[in-house]
Amino acid sequence: MTTVGFERFGFDSEVPLDALRSIYLRAHYVRSANATSPKPGEKTKEELESDAIYYPDSRSISYSTLTRFPPVKLLSPEKRKRILVTGGAGFVGSHLVDRLMLLGHEVTVLDNFFTGSKTTVGHWVGHPNFELVRHDVVEPYMTECDQIYHLACPASPPHYQFNAVKTVKTSFMGTLNMLGLAKRTKARFLITSTSEVYGDPEVHPQHEEYWGNVNPIGPRACYDEGKRVAETLTYGYHRQDGVDVRVARIFNTYGNTYPVMNPFDGRVVSNFIMQALRGEDMTVYGDGSQTRSFQYIHDLVDGLIALMNSDETRPVNIGSSDEFTIGEFALLVRDIVEKVQKEDGTAPARRVQVIYKPLPTNDPQKRRADTTRAKQVLEWQPRWTVRMGVEEMVRYYKAKMAEGSI
Ligand SMILES: NC(=O)c1ccc[n+]([C@@H]2O[C@H](COP(=O)([O-])OP(=O)(O)OC[C@H]3O[C@@H](n4cnc5c(N)ncnc54)[C@H](O)[C@@H]3O)[C@@H](O)[C@H]2O)c1
């Protein structure tokens, strides 16, 4: 695999994989006890394109601005779009922003940094095509734009359960505000909904016509019902006001992000990797027989961009249909971590074990996307195998651990 993305519906989303890797595998600072000269073997600041320095003794960082931004395409004014990404500093948002920036578009990120962080898009701050706005989508926001990717909403259970009322407000009022903006600007609006709208499904795999089986008062309801009402609003604006809408129902996605220690959702992947890399035993919740399908972040970004630029206004599942039990997945991650450690000559003395703990409330037993619609209308299907994606992530986390940032 040398590129991600493709030309579809008149919108070219292809960028070289190495261009993305140069962003996420790039060290953010020189690790040195001495402020003026890196130690032998360390990269020079020119190689890193950053003057920031990390002092291991005091665990402090001296940041500087980047000396040079990653190269972006030069697009003619009629091809260059003004794109608003709410929640653009989060996991999915920051990968989407990297892609849209490399493609040469003008990107504005709206984020209140509840779960996201400025550091995820920090490498674009100051770029003439980029704007970062600290803003809570519960409040209205006005700007001129052609496309809105509305992602703002915490996505992992500990985060969305931290303040359930706020999660519902973000889902409802945030979506209302962004749909209002789309109506006024005539921008195309895409919302990142979720497979959680299917709840604990009685239909397997889940296709878009299935209405779901959601507990409206359970601990996950603030998110599941929040997304359901956000979809309702989206189609309300579409039918009543003619807003041009797209609804992506995203299934579990994994990819490079700072590890969020949440063992219950797609981030189980980063947990397993971090535990295995640290030589800690890997925790499986339940007996490990519950199944999940995981898609790699670059495939999701391909799908979101294809959907945004297509004519499809119905909801579209974007996910992988390769099903794994969590137990099998833990073993696969361990294999890949061991392979990478062996190649790098860093194999630990003790093999990590898989340990089992009780399952949390309302954790769905089965979830797998029926992606027939995405294949038919977007000509999209995942291209990254789980093995390829996990290996990419293992290398990322190893690089971050070596840098000292995690
Ligand atoms: N990651 C997945 O596997 C997955 C699966 C299904 C759906 N989704 C959806 O994709 C979107 C992004 O998910 P993610 O995994 O990147 O989550 P994330 O928590 O990493 O990112 C969410 C971003 O939204 C921001 N945010 C939250 N509330 C906000 C508010 N009120 N105002 C402004 N910004 C706010 C956060 O600070 C963060 O940057 C979410 O809408 C989520 O529901 C993700």
> 315-334 as b/e, with b when 16 or more CB fall inside 10 Å?
bbbbbbbebbbbbebbbbbb
Res 280: pLDDT: 92
Given pLDDT bands bounded at 50, 70 and 90, which one contains residue 28? Answer: low
Q: How far apart are the CA of 88 and the centre of ligand 1, in A?
A: 8
Q: How far apart are the CA of 48 and the centre of ligand 1, in A?
A: 29
Task: Indicate if 223 belongs to the active site.
Answer: yes
Strand pairing class (11-12; 7-8)? antiparallel
Given pLDDT bands bounded at 50, 70 and 90, which one contains residue 261? Answer: very low
Strand pairing class (15-16; 3-4)? antiparallel
Q: How far apart are the CA of 180 and the centre of ligand 1, in A?
A: 20
Taking the CA of residue 265 as reference, the ligand 1 atom at the shortest distance is: 3
Residue in the block written with tokens 């998110």: 223
Distance (Å, rounded) from C-alpha 212 to C-alpha 58?
52
Taking the CA of residue 156 as reference, the ligand 1 atom at the shortest distance is: 19
Strand pairing class (245-250; 188-194)? parallel
Q: At residue 255, what is the residue type?
A: G
Q: Which residues contact 284 (CB under 8 A, 6 or more apart)?
A: 326, 327, 330, 354, 355, 356, 357
Residue having the nearest C-alpha atom to atom 21 of ligand 1: 90
Res 334: pLDDT: 95
Residue having the nearest C-alpha atom to atom 26 of ligand 1: 152
Given pLDDT bands bounded at 50, 70 and 90, which one contains residue 260? Answer: very low
| In the chain, domain spans | 3-403
Res 262: pLDDT: 44
Q: How far apart are the CA of 190 and the centre of ligand 1, in A?
A: 14
Q: Is the pLDDT of residue 169 over 60?
A: yes
Taking the CA of residue 152 as reference, the ligand 1 atom at the shortest distance is: 24
Distance (Å, rounded) from C-alpha 4 to C-alpha 305?
12
CB atoms within 10 A of CB 78: 6
> Which phi and psi (to 5°) does residue 343 adopt?
-60, -40
**Probe target for ligand 1 pocket from 114, 163, 316, with the most ligand atoms within 8 Å of CB:** 114
Strand pairing class (11-12; 30-31)? unpaired
52 close to 28: Cβ distance less than 8 angstroms = yes
Average pLDDT over residues 215-237: 97
Given pLDDT bands bounded at 50, 70 and 90, which one contains residue 33? Answer: low
- Catalytic residue, chosen from 24, 149, 160, 223, is 223
DSSP state of 137: T
Q: Is the pLDDT of residue 23 over 70?
A: yes
Q: What is the mean pLDDT of the chain?
A: 88
Distance (Å, rounded) from C-alpha 382 to C-alpha 380?
7
pLDDT tens readout for residues 270-309: 889 989 998 999 999 889 988 888 899 999 999 999 999 9
Taking the CA of residue 138 as reference, the ligand 1 atom at the shortest distance is: 31
Q: In which element (H, E) is residue 191 found? A: strand 188-194
Distance (Å, rounded) from C-alpha 62 to C-alpha 231?
44
pLDDT tens readout for residues 322-351: 888 889 999 999 999 999 988 888 888 789
Q: At residue 401, what is the residue type?
A: M
Res 383: pLDDT: 95
Given pLDDT bands bounded at 50, 70 and 90, which one contains residue 362? Answer: low
Q: What angle do CA 192, 193, 196 make, to 5 degrees?
A: 145
Q: How far apart are the CA of 178 and the centre of ligand 1, in A?
A: 15
Name the residue with higher pLDDT: 397 or 143: 143
Q: Is the peptide bond before 219 cis (omega within 30 degrees of 0)?
A: no
For the beta sheet containing 53-55, the strands, ordered from the edge strand earlier in sequence to the opposite edge, are 30-31, 53-55, 60-62
Res 259: pLDDT: 45
Res 333: pLDDT: 93
Q: What angle do CA 326, 327, 329 make, to 5 degrees?
A: 60
Residue having the nearest C-alpha atom to atom 13 of ligand 1: 155
Give ligand 1 pocket residues (Cβ under 6 A). 86-87, 89-93, 110-116, 136-138, 151-155, 159, 170, 174, 192, 194, 250, 252-253, 266
Q: How far apart are the CA of 84 and the centre of ligand 1, in A?
A: 14
Taking the CA of residue 166 as reference, the ligand 1 atom at the shortest distance is: 31
121 close to 97: Cβ distance less than 8 angstroms = yes
CB atoms within 10 A of CB 226: 26
**Probe target for ligand 1 pocket from 96, 108, 115, 137, with the most ligand atoms within 8 Å of CB:** 115
Residue having the nearest C-alpha atom to atom 25 of ligand 1: 87
Dihedral of CA 220/222/227/228: which sign? positive
Distance (Å, rounded) from C-alpha 29 to C-alpha 15?
25
CATH of domain 3-403: 3.40.50.720
Which residue, among 76, 93, 99, 88, has the nearest Cα to 3 in the 3D structure?
Answer: 99
Distance (Å, rounded) from C-alpha 178 to C-alpha 111?
13
Q: How far apart are the CA of 47 and the centre of ligand 1, in A?
A: 33
Given pLDDT bands bounded at 50, 70 and 90, which one contains residue 51? Answer: low
